[in-house]
Structure 1
Amino acid sequence: MHIGIIEDHQLVRDSFKKLLELQADWEVIIEACNVDQAILAVALEQPDVFIVDISLNESQNGLTFLTYLNENFPEIKTIVASMHDYEPYVSNALRLGALGYVSKRSASEELIDSVKSVALGKRYISEDVNFALNTQSSALTILTNRELEALPLLAKGLNAKQIAQQLEIMPKTAHVHKANIYSKLNVTTSFELLKIAIDAGVIKLDELT
């Protein structure tokens, strides 16, 4: 099996390559540290599976490369190996064609299994990523429907009067929703609330720009 890796840390690339090539008939044929290098390399030879890091020290990240492969080489199976094991990173990667998603914290244990699975066209999400996603989702199940409506507005920094106007409720009620949300999610600052909202996919990063 031929494999490509795009990862900006050489030690991680070397570690992945060494691990993968312990498997019989597996060869890493592309090692790239940025999107431009990877695009040039894949134009010359196409691996069966490409392992992609999301966070690269460049203006273009791994999601850019996933988009490129999905549009130009859809036959190449892709796996994201990232420290970002939460939403919206996971859903964005899967939407852009990734069949696998593993956390770098468990990559050494699960990378081989993920490559075997996606090579057969099967989806593979590592156990710790699944756990993180389930934890994020379950945290919001304790909120009422009205509190779920108020959550993204609070996380974006709107005050009670502004929230009341958008939800067509009384400001006093908006204050009650805020107090309940902070208490149920065990947060004390809007920054903590914003992180939960982003991790759970309630707010996307481009909504904050």
Structure 2
Amino acid sequence: MLIGIIEDHQLVRDSFKKLLELQPDWKVIIEACSVTEAKLAVELEQPDIFIVDISLNGAETGLSFLSYLEGSFPHIKSIVASMHDHEPYVSNALRLGALGYVSKRSASDELIDAVKAVALGKRYISEDVNFSMSSENLALTVLTNRELEALPLFSKGLNAKQVAQILEIMPKTAHVHKANIYSKLNVTTSFELLKIAIDAGVIQLDELT
């Protein structure tokens, strides 16, 4: 597994690298101390997983790098390892595409487990991280921005062709979005999807009348 690290403290960066490379076939291929440096590196070589700190040197934070990854390299999974283990940092990071969130206080014990879980597409949040996101909103963080746009439309019972027209995409692409939404949210019917959308506040009941 190929891993990238963006962390502005060299001792922490070195510690993470040493810990990660104890695992067979794991290699840290990017070590960056700023968002600018990380962007230049990821343009040349893409890791499977990026471990991201939030507070960094320079104008941009780790949150902006998460947004960049989701927009430019959505196949790269990300884990936040930060001292900011409370709201609103946690929910913001999850909304920006992070699948994992580990407190630096427990990173030495939990980082390996987090990487293993996220590599499988599972969410991992260490127990000492405090966040208040509802289970419904947490579930929606696994969706891409385009899937989030399509979610309320499919929830209202529109078919793929109708959704494609509204979002100005190909019907085939709309079908793919629908399949991904159903799979990621673990639902099999439009009614189940509607319930999640209402509970998460994506759509309001008066929109259905």
The CA deviation at 1:58 is: 1.3
Residue matched to 2:13:
13
Is 1:93 aligned to 2:87, yes or no? no
Residue matched to 1:106:
106
- TM-score, normalised relative to structure 1: 0.63
Residue matched to 1:74:
74
Residue matched to 1:41:
41
Partner SS for 1:64: helix
Deviation by residue 1:142-200 (Cα, 9 ceiling, x = unmatched): xxxxxxxxxxxxxxxxxxxxxxxxxxxxxxxxxxxxxxxxxxxxxxxxxxxxxxxxxxx
Q: C-alpha distance in 1, partners of 2:58/2:113?
A: 29
Partner SS for 1:105: helix
Structure 1 segments of 4+ aligned residues over 4 angstroms from their partners: none
Q: C-alpha distance in 2, partners of 1:101/1:90?
A: 7
Partner SS for 1:19: helix
Q: C-alpha distance in 2, partners of 1:56/1:76?
A: 20
Q: C-alpha distance in 2, partners of 1:97/1:3?
A: 17
Deviation by residue 1:105-152 (Cα, 9 ceiling, x = unmatched): 0000000000000000000000111xx336x99xxxxxxxxxxxxxxx
Mapping of 1:146-161 within 5 angstroms?
Answer: none
Task: Kindly provide the amino acid, as one letter, of the partner of residue 5 in structure 1.
Answer: I
Partner SS for 1:79: strand
Q: C-alpha distance in 1, partners of 2:42/2:60?
A: 16
The CA deviation at 1:57 is: 1.9
Residue matched to 1:149:
none
Residue matched to 1:163:
none
In structure 1, list runs of 5 or more residues that go unmatched.
Answer: 138-209
Q: C-alpha distance in 2, partners of 1:133/1:56?
A: 22
Task: Kindly provide the amino acid, as one letter, of the partner of residue 40 in structure 2.
Answer: L
The CA deviation at 1:9 is: 0.2
Q: Say whether the 8 Å CA contact 2:91–2:131 is kept in structure 1.
A: no
Deviation by residue 1:66-117 (Cα, 9 ceiling, x = unmatched): 0000000000000000000100000000000000000000000000000000
Residue matched to 1:54:
54
Residue matched to 2:127:
127
Q: C-alpha distance in 2, partners of 1:55/1:133?
A: 18
Larger radius of gyration: 1
Q: Say whether the 8 Å CA contact 2:21–2:28 is kept in structure 1.
A: yes
Percent identity for Structure 1 against Structure 2: 79
Q: C-alpha distance in 1, partners of 2:37/2:103?
A: 23
Partner SS for 1:5: strand
